[in-house]
Structure 1
């Protein structure tokens, strides 16, 4: 099967050209100022997201994860939002990604006052910044001006580093996206909030690397505790907090680094950050620092600039879940 046919099966349409008529340049802070008359686009998004956050605070780690999974595939182009039988959201690493309804509602609120101007890709970045600030993180300014991509293929998610990745392979994966090891350490600090399913680390509790024993790098007390939640033959895939400090597992702070230094990391990659010679000294420095929230925000901004579409590239979707109809025709005889 040719690549063209694979794309045809994945998205069902071929993109022609962008007909939205809006001219966009490079990313910039305050990009939408004056583009929606008197409406403040970022405030509309913030208020919409806040109403969702008050009802469900777990949307904070969900949106942080969504932005990461979007940016690490085709770049920050909202391709993770597109529906389709073989779209990115159908790939195994993305089956547990959620928060799509939050982006949908923020997009609908913006469209009411400023139709076909604000991209879904920008809304992901703005909404993620907002939930970080609602969760105790420092509010940071985000660059906007992204346009939405038109390609979403499940197979492209292979660029996402798995939870069992080694530190060196994770560094290489981040480097391919223009992010250095320090950026990686701060971005993985997003695990200061959120959960992990038992299936992602169960081998560490019972049969690490087919040894028949638990991972020797995990604290024995933590192993005993986690086994109560993650039974070896359980049929239900339960969850645990990524930050095992119960006082801060829902707060954006540096506690995650203290926990992994105590060998209380849940995911293998998280624990290895505190043990590997490539990263352990930096982990200790972050744990002792007072500027994690600032550095975390800066790393999120840098990640938000990965392979963005600007200018005449991409489109401004009317719905975050579908390519604009005028920009595609049915595939015929490919």
Structure 2
């Protein structure tokens, strides 16, 4: 093979490994030390302020970050608004219920006043999530920074998000495509310790489950009865649903304890008990909050490091 051909193959290989749309760049802990030293404390203040008025903010930010990273990497494409004929991610079916975008807008506005055009919306979201988890009683961690903001946001791509109806093989495939392991899957599922779900996300488990059971037999009978009372078959209450666990504004390991009791909401939660490996991790996290927190931090750092994007937006809702 000639030198030109070898070079061509090398370029092709690099393009496959690192597509043009997903530039490779290094994140670092001290990225803004010189250019915007007060960025982290400013973002933290915005999260604290929002949480004093709305206890659902941490759950909303955690879900927003997850839904962002799983599409084009952690590039804040979930924050972009639909423009013209393009329907953005935030208006895709799985994201219709996302909220608290104003928290990121407020943080961005405050940071822009300090250091114009320096801090990306993607970094603001990653930092805000860390603060929201810590302020909810969960762990804290050092966030590497230097993410760039993406210019592309398509509602059709939200089909790639793992659905609450997924079984374990579908979940494994979804996570492995993003470089995340089964351990990451179980640890990140613990984010369901925060928040609320609408009936539509678990309707499949409590009505017409299959040809022999109306209700998923893995759901504890009294829990199923309470869910059916809130979410009848032809539910007409728009915001009806249930909290993700019994302490839904506190970041703890209650989710795993309830999961072992048949009191989880989603099929994708129950799926964690269907392999020996994932069930063992659920049991481990249910018995030790410390073990869960260590695993969660490790997996959050890993997921938050999936990069993408090309620019630093001045307004998180529109490309430059």
TM-score by length of 1: 0.84
Aligned match of 2:260: 261
On the 8 A contact 2:209/2:216 being kept in 1, the answer is: yes
Which whole-Å deviations, capped at 9, do the CAs of 1:17-68 have from their partners, x for residues lacking one? xxxxxxx9510112111112xx410000000111001110101000000000
CA distance in 2, matches of 1:277, 1:70: 30
On the 8 A contact 1:79/1:149 being kept in 2, the answer is: yes
Give the alignment of 1:173-212 within 5 angstroms.
173-211=174-212
Aligned match of 2:287: 288
List, as ranges, runs of 4+ consecutive aligned residues in structure 1 with deviation greater than 4 Å: none
Aligned match of 2:152: 151
- More displaced 10-residue stretch of structure 1: 107-116 or 27-36: 27-36
Aligned match of 2:243: 241
On the 8 A contact 2:78/2:153 being kept in 1, the answer is: yes
- More displaced 10-residue stretch of structure 1: 65-74 or 231-240: 231-240
Aligned match of 1:318: 314
Report the Cα offset of residue 159 of structure 1: 1.5
Determine helix, strand or coil for the equivalent of 2:197.
Answer: strand
Judging by fraction of residues, say which structure has more helix: 2
CA distance in 2, matches of 1:210, 1:147: 49
CA distance in 2, matches of 1:221, 1:95: 30
RMSD: 1.5
Report the Cα offset of residue 308 of structure 1: 3.4
CA distance in 2, matches of 1:250, 1:276: 29
Aligned match of 2:81: 83
Give the alignment of 1:1-334 within 5 angstroms.
26-36=26-36, 39-84=37-82, 85-211=86-212, 213-237=214-238, 238-243=240-245, 246=246, 248-289=247-288, 290-309=290-309, 314-324=310-320
Which whole-Å deviations, capped at 9, do the CAs of 1:142-192 have from their partners, x for residues lacking one? 010001011111111121011000111101100000000001111110001
Which whole-Å deviations, capped at 9, do the CAs of 1:68-93 have from their partners, x for residues lacking one? 00000000000011111411111101
Determine helix, strand or coil for the equivalent of 1:240.
Answer: strand
CA distance in 2, matches of 1:274, 1:203: 18
Determine helix, strand or coil for the equivalent of 2:255.
Answer: helix
Determine helix, strand or coil for the equivalent of 1:196.
Answer: strand
CA distance in 2, matches of 1:280, 1:63: 27
On the 8 A contact 2:284/2:291 being kept in 1, the answer is: no
On the 8 A contact 1:167/1:278 being kept in 2, the answer is: no
Report the Cα offset of residue 277 of structure 1: 3.4
Report the Cα offset of residue 255 of structure 1: 1.1
Which whole-Å deviations, capped at 9, do the CAs of 1:231-262 have from their partners, x for residues lacking one? 2222114020111xx3x222111111111111
CA distance in 2, matches of 1:206, 1:179: 32
On the 8 A contact 1:137/1:252 being kept in 2, the answer is: yes
Q: What is the total number of aligned residue pairs between the two structures?
A: 292
Aligned match of 1:20: none
On the 8 A contact 2:168/2:274 being kept in 1, the answer is: no
On the 8 A contact 2:219/2:262 being kept in 1, the answer is: yes
Report the Cα offset of residue 278 of structure 1: 4.5
Aligned match of 2:19: none
On the 8 A contact 1:72/1:160 being kept in 2, the answer is: yes
On the 8 A contact 2:148/2:311 being kept in 1, the answer is: yes
On the 8 A contact 1:252/1:293 being kept in 2, the answer is: no
CA distance in 2, matches of 1:53, 1:299: 24
On the 8 A contact 1:136/1:252 being kept in 2, the answer is: yes
